[in-house]
């Protein structure tokens, strides 16, 4: 969370800072701010509440206009201290140091008390301000800015991605990272920093991804990097393939809608070069994957949010099809509960961003618990912390996902997990050649099936109207559809702010059925599988309690419409792998259109951020 961008160049840096902030808004949008060193080496700072647009408007009103060739900027997702101007970054210490921060300094109260006794004044309730004061204090005993930062960070516990400038060192930015992502962009007429390369694409496609503990001194013509121990290090320069055009919403109203409709292509791209006509290429998980998967005796999946829901689907697949034991857990719990990790475990992290702090920490923890395990990350972000920490990497090729609510990242994760299931099943001989071919055929049909499901948008738009005044909704499904129901409920709450819960349909009678009345719609998913008849009985139970029901079914499920029940055939002849992916589509569309009716900020829902890089 929080996005930072900065640069030192041979021209005014303001427009680059604003452009970068706009691209980083997915990381938080409670407030934003920027600071430059003006010609006489004094700080010029502007901060605004809310979105970056407000900062832009604020800057337009400044006379004279703010200018500077060196500056840093920040878009905030509030952790310590409410969203307010005085808590907005950049923060300043004694007109000598200014900085932007992404992360949390956990021991800030202790540091603050020391600094108060040393005469430092605080103007915010943030944890960040102690960093500025700590650096200013260190400057008294150090001869360079970078040495001051290196000294100060030794006293911090927690996480940080930092961009720091000083009025005493007007030719440089210091960047430091621990836990939070930070990248250096190498330009022609300047050098830059950002939380994410997408902030800098208009000035460069050359990037250095800092490693945990790195501290860098960035001048217009020189970049010097040290590791946490203070050793001079060289980090590789990578060329980004990302294109600026991907940031355009095109003919769609919102990025979420665009990304929902990009799913056929995203799935095609994720499958490309990973399957042949009749088999899966196991080496797609890494050239040692075959050897590793052969030895694996259980799978542990760890993830958050939608990625966790994808993991839940995979548990059914891995145990049912590949006959391998699989556990799935949310990363924020896993990382703290000292779990048992047996030898020969394949430890899988799922993450669109590859930067989710809890998932990254859970992976580090797992490696500490049992260093013999093999780690696989399934992510949409090639240059991410998770890819750097994992033995095996599978990149979903969903393309840039800008909307905070995940859509194509989720369905492409499911595709990746289907390939994983098929690979392990093939090596363990739990699926034969014919079954492998059936799975491959199903995967190949997916883009077409998704396109068909998307044709229901108009019908779903009409359904959405029914939710206009609803406060709560229940999603039910059985088997993998319980996980899809969870994903549907998550989507609905995050973008429409309607309370939603998901239950395995068979569990309703153990409590939640008490909630059901005509004010509480129930959305059910009814694939044509071995649990269909049981689901139909569950629907009868719900109907008897007077609920309005919407059932998304496989045409062959033939759920009989009843009073106050709408049955919507999504498609037909879906299999165990294709069904959960396809039934996700109407749920995404439904949430999207309910959010439109409720008038929420669909792509940037309140209180959320796309990449959760703090605990």
Q: Give catalytic residue positions.
A: 2, 610
With helix as H, strand as E and coil as C, how does 518-547 read? CCCCEEEEECCCCCHHHHHHHHHHHHCCCC
Nearest-angstrom CA–CA distance, 148 and 137 = 8
Q: Are 133 and 98 in contact (CB under 8 A)?
A: no
Q: Which is nearer to ligand F6R, 51 or 491 (CB)?
A: 491
- Among 198, 304, 363, 400, which residue interacts with ligand F6R (rule: CB under 6 A)? 304
Residues in 374-403 that interact with ligand F6R by CB under 6 A: none
- Lookup: tokens for 232: 């001079």
Site for ligand F6R in 584-613 (CB under 6 A): 611-612
Beta strand 3-9 with 70-76 is: antiparallel
Pick from 406, 456, 473, 557: which binds ligand F6R (CB under 6 A)? 406
Q: Which is nearer to ligand F6R, 148 or 307 (CB)?
A: 307
Beta carbons of 43 and 167 less than 8 angstroms apart: yes
* Cis peptide preceding 90, ω within 30 of 0: yes
List 306, 411, 547, 584, residue binding ligand F6R (CB under 6 A): 306
408-467 positions binding ligand F6R, by CB under 6 A: none
Confirm if 165 and 236 have CB atoms less than 8 A apart.
Answer: no
Among 159, 204, 356, 412, binds ligand F6R (CB under 6 A): 356
CA–CA dist 575, 577 (Å, integer) = 5
Burial class, 171, CB count within 10 angstroms (exposed 0-12 / middle 13-18 / buried 19+): middle
Give the Cα-Cα-Cα angle 564, 566, 570 (nearest 5 degrees): 165
C-beta of 327: minimal distance to ligand F6R in Å? 18
With CA atoms as reference, report the closest residue to 69 among 192, 186, 161. 192
Name the minimum Å distance from CB 437 to ligand F6R.
Answer: 31
Q: Should residue 305 be labelled a site residue for ligand F6R when binding is judged by CB under 6 A? A: yes
Please report whether residue 581 would count as binding ligand F6R according to CB under 6 A: no
Q: Which stretch binds ligand F6R (CB under 6 A): 220-228, 298-306, 415-423, 562-570?
A: 298-306
Reply yes or no: is the peptide bond before residue 185 cis, omega within 30 of 0: no
Nearest approach, Cβ of residue 359 and ligand F6R (Å): 5
Give the range of 81-89, 133-141, 347-355, 444-452 binding ligand F6R by CB under 6 A. Answer: 347-355
Query: Other C-beta atoms within 10 Å of 573: how many?
Result: 13
Is residue 351 a contact residue for ligand F6R (CB under 6 A)? yes
Which listed residue (197, 204, 300, 307) binds ligand F6R by CB under 6 A? 307
Beta carbon nearer to ligand F6R, 172 or 356: 356
Judged by beta carbon, residue 484 or residue 490, the one nearer ligand F6R is: 490
Least Cα distance to 83 among 51, 116, 122 occurs for 51
To the nearest whole angstrom, how small is the minimum distance from the Cβ of residue 490 to ligand F6R?
6
Q: For the CB of residue 351, give the shortest distance to ligand F6R in the complex, in Å.
A: 3
Q: How far is the CB of 380 from ligand F6R (least distance, A)?
A: 8
Cβ atoms 411, 266 nearer than 8 A: yes
- Strand pairing partners for 285? none
To the nearest whole angstrom, how small is the minimum distance from the Cβ of residue 524 to ligand F6R?
21
Stretch that binds ligand F6R, among 7-15, 352-360, 439-447, 455-463 (CB under 6 A): 352-360
Question: 165 or 483, CB closer to ligand F6R?
Answer: 483
The span of 351-359, 389-397, 435-443, 539-547 binding ligand F6R (CB under 6 A) equals 351-359
In the complex, least distance from residue 352 CB atom to ligand F6R, rounded to whole angstroms: 4
Nearer to ligand F6R, 263 or 406 (CB): 406
Name which of 212, 306, 216 is nearest 256 in CA terms.
Answer: 306
Which residue stretches of 296-384 are H helix? 305-320, 331-334, 357-369
Q: Which of 87, 150, 352, 591 binds ligand F6R (CB under 6 A)?
A: 352
Q: Which is nearer to ligand F6R, 349 or 548 (CB)?
A: 349
User: How far is 512 from 424, CA to CA, in rounded Å?
Assistant: 37
Contact 357, 613 (CB under 8 A): yes
Number of helices (H), then strands (E), in the chain: 18, 25
Told to check if 22 binds ligand F6R by CB under 6 A, we report no
Size of the site for ligand F6R (CB under 6 A): 15
Q: How many other C-beta atoms lie within 10 A of the C-beta of residue 258?
A: 20
Task: Provide the minimum distance between the beta carbon of 367 and ligand F6R in the complex, in angstroms, as a whole number.
Answer: 18
In the range 486-525, which residues lie near ligand F6R by CB under 6 A? 490, 494
CA–CA distance, 359 with 558 (Å, rounded to integer): 41
98 binds ligand F6R (CB under 6 A): no
* Segment contacting ligand F6R by CB under 6 A, of 242-250, 305-313, 319-327, 588-596: 305-313
Task: Provide the CB-side half-sphere exposure for 284 (13 A, CA).
Answer: 26
Q: Which residues, numbered 195-224, are part of the site for ligand F6R (CB under 6 A)?
A: none
Rank residues 137 and 261 by Cβ distance to ligand F6R and give the closer one.
261
**Please, which residue, 282 or 489, has the CB nearer to ligand F6R?**
489
Give yes or no for residue 405 binding ligand F6R (CB under 6 A).
yes
Q: Which residue is nearest to ligand F6R (CB)?
A: 305
Q: Within 10 Å of residue 511's Cβ, how many Cβ atoms?
A: 9
What tokens were used for 506? 């068979």
Report the alpha-carbon angle 134-139-144, nearest 5: 125
Q: How far is the CB of 596 from ligand F6R (least distance, A)?
A: 17
Residue with tokens 């033939």: 558
DSSP strand pairing (31-37 vs 565-571): unpaired
Residue among 2 and 490 whose Cβ is closer to ligand F6R: 490
d(CA 231, CA 213): 11
Binding site for ligand F6R (CB under 6 A): 304-307, 351-353, 356, 359, 405-406, 490, 494, 611-612
């Amino acid at each position: 969370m929080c996005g930072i961008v900065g640069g030192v160049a041979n021209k005014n840096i303001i427009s680059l800072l604003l452009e970068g902030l706009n691209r980083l808004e997915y990381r938080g949008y409670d407030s934003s701010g920027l600071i430059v060193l003006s010609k006489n080496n004094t700080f010029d700072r502007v901060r605004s509440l809310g979105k970056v647009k407000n900062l832009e408007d604020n800057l337009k009103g400044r006379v004279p206009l703010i200018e500077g060739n060196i500056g840093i900027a920040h878009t905030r997702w509030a952790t310590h201290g409410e969203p307010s101007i005085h808590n907005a970054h950049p923060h300043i210490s004694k007109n000598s140091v200014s900085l932007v921060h992404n992360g949390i300094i956990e021991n800030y109260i202790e540091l603050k008390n020391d600094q108060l006794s040393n005469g430092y004044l605080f103007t915010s309730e943030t944890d960040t301000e102690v960093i500025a004061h700590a650096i200013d204090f260190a400057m008294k005993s150090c001869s360079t800015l970078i040495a001051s930062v290196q000294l100060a960070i030794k006293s911090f516990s927690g996480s940080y991605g930092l961009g720091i400038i000083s009025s005493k060192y007007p030719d440089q930015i210091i960047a430091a990272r621990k836990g939070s992502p930070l990248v250096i962009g190498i330009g022609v007429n300047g050098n830059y920093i950002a939380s994410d390369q997408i902030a800098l694409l208009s000035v460069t496609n050359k990037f250095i991804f800092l490693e945990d503990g790195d501290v860098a001194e960035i001048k217009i013509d020189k970049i010097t990097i040290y590791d946490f121990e203070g050793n001079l290090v060289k980090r590789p320069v990578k060329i980004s393939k990302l294109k600026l055009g991907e940031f355009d919403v095109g003919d769609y109203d919102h990025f979420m809608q665009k990304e929902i409709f990009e799913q056929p292509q995203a799935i095609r791209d994720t499958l490309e070069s990973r399957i042949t006509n009749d088999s899966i290429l196991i080496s797609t998980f890494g050239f040692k994957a075959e050897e590793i998967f052969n030895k694996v005796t259980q799978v542990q999946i760890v993830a958050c949010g939608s990625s966790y829901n994808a993991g839940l689907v995979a548990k059914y697949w891995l145990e049912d099809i590949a006959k391998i034991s699989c556990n799935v857990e949310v990363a924020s719990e896993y990382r703290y509960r000292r779990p048992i990790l047996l030898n020969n475990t394949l430890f899988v992290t799922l993450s669109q961003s590859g930067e989710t702090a809890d998932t990254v920490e859970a992976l580090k923890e797992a490696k500490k618990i049992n260093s013999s395990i093999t780690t696989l990350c399934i992510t949409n972000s090639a240059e991410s912390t998770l890819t750097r920490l994992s033995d095996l990497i599978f990149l979903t090729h969903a393309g840039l996902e800008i909307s905070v609510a995940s859509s194509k990242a989720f369905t492409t994760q499911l595709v990746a997990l289907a390939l994983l299931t098929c690979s392990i099943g093939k090596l363990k001989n739990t699926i034969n050649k014919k079954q492998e071919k059936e799975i491959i055929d199903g995967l190949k049909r997916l883009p077409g099936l998704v396109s068909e499901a998307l044709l229901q948008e108009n019908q779903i738009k009409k359904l959405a109207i029914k939710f206009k005044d609803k406060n709560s909704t229940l999603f039910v499904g059985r088997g993998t559809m319980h996980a899809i129901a969870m994903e549907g409920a998550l989507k609905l709450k995050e973008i429409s702010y309607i309370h939603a819960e998901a239950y395995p349909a068979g569990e309703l009678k153990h409590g939640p059925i008490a909630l059901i009345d005509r004010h509480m719609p129930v959305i059910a998913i009814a694939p044509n599988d071995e649990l269909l008849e049981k689901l139909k009985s569950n629907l009868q139970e719900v109907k008897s309690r007077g609920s309005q029901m919407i059932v998304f079914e496989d045409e062959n499920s033939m759920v009989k419409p009843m009073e106050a029940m709408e049955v919507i055939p999504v498609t037909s002849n879906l299999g165990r792998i294709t069904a959960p992916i396809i039934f996700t589509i109407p749920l995404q569309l439904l949430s999207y259109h309910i959010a439109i009716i409720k008038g929420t900020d669909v792509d940037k829902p309140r209180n959320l951020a796309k990449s959760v890089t703090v605990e």
